[in-house]
Each structure stands twice: as C-alpha cells, then as structure tokens.
Amino acid sequence: MDAALLEVRDLKVVFDTADGTTHAVRGVSLSVRAGETLAVVGESGCGKSVSFQSLLGLTPTPPGRILDGSAVFNGQTLIENGTLAASVQRGRDIGMIFQDPMASMNPTMRIGDQIAEPLRIHQGLSRRAAHQRAIQLLQQVRIPEPASRVRQYPFEFSGGMLQRAMIAMALGVQPKLLIADEPTTALDVTIQAQILDLLRGMKAGNNMAMVLITHDLGVVAETADRVAVMYAGEVVESTDVESAFERPAHPYTLGLRQSIPDPGAAAGGLTTIPGTPPDLSQPIAGCAYAPRCPYAMRVCAQQAPPPFDLPVDEHGLRRWSRCWLQHPKAPRIKALDQSARGVGDGVA
C-alpha cells in the first residue's frame, strides 16, 4: 500500500464568537495518496471547507483558530500540536480552487496578472515569461482567445470562465495536491461536465492527487476513488466510492445516498433526512447523528462511537465507520448491507 501524500490526524478547529465557541472541526482524520481523488462529502456547515482551509493557513484568525491536531504533507509538517508550521509548499505543492471564483479573485487585477503572480513567486519566472505562460494556461483550460482574455478583468468573465481561470491559476505551478472546493457550484450541467473533464485530464497528466469537496453525489460517483463522509465536524465514514453507494456502513451515508433524486420516482417522492444538524457551540454527548438516526440505540446518545474497522477495499486500503451498528454485538439492520459490518471492536 502506497504511503499517504497527505496525512491529517485529529484536526480540531474552533471559532470564538460573541455567543461562545463553535467547534467547527471536531477531530478530523483522513489521508490522501499520490494520484488519487478523495471526495469529502456532507451537508453545508459540516466542516468540509474549514478543514482544508486550516491546512493552508486560510482560516481567518480571529475568530478561527486550530485547537489541536497534526498534518503531514509529502513528509513535511504542515500542522503540529495545533500549530501551523512555516512551509513554502502552500500555494506551490498544494493548490486550491475556491468555491466562489468571483469573490476569490481580485476584481482590480487583470486575469493574466493573477495567473502569473504565483508563477513568478514559486517558479521564479520573469514578468514576460509568466505572462506567456498565463496565456498558455488559459488556452489549456479551453478559454477562447486567451491572448486577449489575459488582459481582461474578472467582471468580464462568465462564471464558467472564471472557474476555468481559477483552475489555470491553481494548476500553473503543477501542484502535487489540488483541493477543489465545490468547483462546479452554480454552473449549468454542460459547463459542469466540462470542468470535471478538465480536472480529470489535468490530474491524469500530472499524476496529481485531488481532494474534491462537494455535496453532489453524482460528481462523487463520476470522479472519486475514495470518500470521506463528514457530519457535524468529523469524518463518520471513510470508504471506497463503490462501497459508499452500494454498501454504506453509516446511517448518515445511507441517508445521503437515499436523498439522490430519482428521475423515475413520482412527484414529491424525494427522500430527505429528518431533523437538523446539532449546534456545534454546545457539548455533544454520544453520536452527533443520533437524534436524526432511525436506527439509534441507547448507547448512541450516551457514548461517542470509535472508528470501527470494515473489510478493506479491493486495493487493500482501510475502511472504517464511526457507528455503534458496526459493533459485532449490534443488531442487524437490513438497510445497511451486512457485508459492510465491522471486523473489530473499534480503535480509538
């Protein structure tokens, strides 16, 4: 089994507000191998974006701060004991595509200058060479007339073109890991498909790893190799993409799968998860999903479940789920495929 390119352990991020402290990320652990795509899925507000922004030092401080945890990228420390390590890799070896390109790009700078800036900083290119490379990158992401577009400002680009320009900026320095935060949000299906094809092609051409942050399970099915399912600031299931859809081991993963619209269903037949996520500014006893879970047991409200190991995937990679139903002595639930039942008593 290949060593992880990115290894995150027990990451905790809080936001201090006038109403108290919100525990936005509550002990996230995950890994990404070179060349693979990890999809991080979950409802809005579950901590997906904050987790990875924290790794890059992009969480606004205050009010945000890393409370604890560690992260290692390509053998070098990013976070140790909750403290960001000085690193030149951010923006060079790790690139990020932000959720809202219009809000993320500088409206007062030309598109070409924004793409050229990291090339000059991280690759030492001259102003002229960086400008020419910016034109090449715009052409590579299929923006028409790149030589003229490079002189335009963000307001002159459509949403799809801005997303492509942001991809060009992130990929220009050829990062080893690309973090794509909702890269197809608010785009029509045609542009969405083009963006995903573009990312897949770039990933394959550069042997680049990718983290895809999304709530769109259709995108996950098309793009990902593995899936980390997040709920209330923690990863509740880590599995391969096929198991996430065919053999979910956590009731929340099952709920997400069942909420996918069925074109053949009758009108009004959309399945939803009842209830609302917990208030992360308040202490959570037991499993955070228990109040919404149709299979909750007494222990679920009393004690937080550890990650129970599941049978490894076809590549020999570890799979696990934070759910008491995966305990060997738990009752059998037909809705959860029993081939996904845990193989141990859980590990802390």
Domain spans of the chain?
1-93+175-224, 104-172, 261-340
pLDDT at 12: 95
pLDDT at 60: 86
Token pair belonging to 118: 């990291």
For the chain, how many helices (H) and strands (E)?
Answer: 11, 13
Nearest to 59 by CA among 50, 68, 72, 67: 50
Low-confidence ranges of the chain (pLDDT < 50): 1, 338-339, 345-348
Instruction: Give CA–CA dist 197/181, Å, rounded.
Output: 16
Nearest to 243 by CA among 260, 225, 255: 225
Q: What tokens were used for 305?
A: 């479940």
CATH match for 1-93+175-224 among 3.40.50.2300, 3.40.50.2000, 3.40.50.300, 1.25.40.10: 3.40.50.300
The pTM for the full model equals 0.88
HEC secondary structure over 24-88: EEEEEEEEEECCCEEEEECCCCCCHHHHHHHHCCCCCCCCEEEEEEEEEECCEEEEECCEECCCC
- Give the pLDDT confidence score for residue 2 in this predicted structure: 60
Task: Give the list of residues 6+ apart from residue 99 with CB closer than 8 angstroms, or none.
Answer: 49, 181, 182, 185, 213
Q: Are 104 and 98 in contact (CB under 8 A)?
A: yes
Cβ atoms of residues 25 and 47 within 8 Å:
yes
